[in-house]
Amino acid sequence: MVRLLLTAARPAKANFANEGGWTALYAAARTPNPDVVALLCDFGADANAAMRPKTEYDSDGEPYVDEPNPPTPLMCAADFSLSLETVRVLLSRGADFAAMDSMGRSAEDYARETLGRPAVKELCDVVELGFESARQALAHTEEWRLAGEGERIIELLAAVRAAGSWKRYVGAWRVQLLLLQRLSANDRAVPRTELMERLVDLPPPLVGKVASYWRTEREPPLLREASKFL
């Protein structure tokens, strides 16, 4: 349905935002559906869109700034912690893992806060927590979490932070491949597989070129059939 809306004769605007800055990407980031997140991003949705703070008033009529929580799609995905793949898709589309809200919390901090919630193994198990349906449960994710998903999201965000960027995190093996080639040329290392042996025998510029097209398990899988619409 999302694909049909984005490719209609009068297509929906993937980056349309309401007065508060809310876009469809925020809604998608709250669900365990990375394909929709990828579609929206690939059709122009901003992975770093920020919810606009608004002025509220307390009981004494004094104004204060109320920042939406969480303010970015990545923080939203981390706060719900329903899909590691959704977080990977957002990072691969340029989401800033280091962005912070007004309280100084990053996406990694949002994910850590989910660990105190009751855990369920599968989405269908939320009925055990008193919800009538999975749809109803998705509206109350602050009361539960998918077991293990938050931990994997934290691990991924920490690894990307340690690498310094998503590009460096994903491309770490390519750096190691070029290092292996340099060491092999000086007889200081020996490739363990026939494939690696053939790769290091290539001219250095060609090795980097081949490696640039090589996808690893760190990268989210290509969205099926998406390319024919782009």
Report residue 65 as tokens: 């700034």
Say whether both 119 and 141 belong to one domain. Answer: yes
The whole domain housing 189 covers 171-230
Query: Which range, of 38-52, 126-140, 175-189, averages the lowest pLDDT?
Result: 126-140
Nearest in space to 120 (alpha carbons), one of 112, 110, 131? 131
Say whether both 151 and 83 belong to one domain. Answer: yes
Residues 159 and 169: beta-carbon distance below 8 Å: yes
Mean pLDDT highest for which of 5-19, 65-79, 175-189, 212-226?
Answer: 5-19
Say whether both 229 and 147 belong to one domain. Answer: no
pLDDT tens-digit map of 157-204: 999 999 999 988 988 777 777 788 888 878 888 888 887 788 788 887
Say whether both 154 and 200 belong to one domain. Answer: no
Q: Pick from 108, 138, 164: which residue ends a domain? A: 164
Q: What percent of the chain has pLDDT over 90?
A: 41
Query: Which range, of 131-135, 169-173, 218-222, averages the lowest pLDDT?
Result: 131-135
CA 36 to CA 24: how far, in whole Å?
10
CA 109 to CA 69: how far, in whole Å?
13
Say whether both 157 and 129 belong to one domain. Answer: yes
CA angle 193, 198, 203 (to 5 degrees): 140
Say whether both 51 and 158 belong to one domain. Answer: yes
**Considering its fold, how many domains does the chain have in total?**
2
Tell me which of 119 and 99 has the higher pLDDT: 99
Buried b (16+ CB within 10 A) or exposed e, 100-130: ebeeebbbbbbbbebeebeebeeeebbeeee
* Residues linked to residue 146 through DSSP beta bridges, in sequence order: 120
Q: Pick from 164, 194, 222: which residue ends a domain? A: 164
Say whether both 115 and 14 belong to one domain. Answer: yes
Say whether both 130 and 104 belong to one domain. Answer: yes
Say whether both 126 and 177 belong to one domain. Answer: no
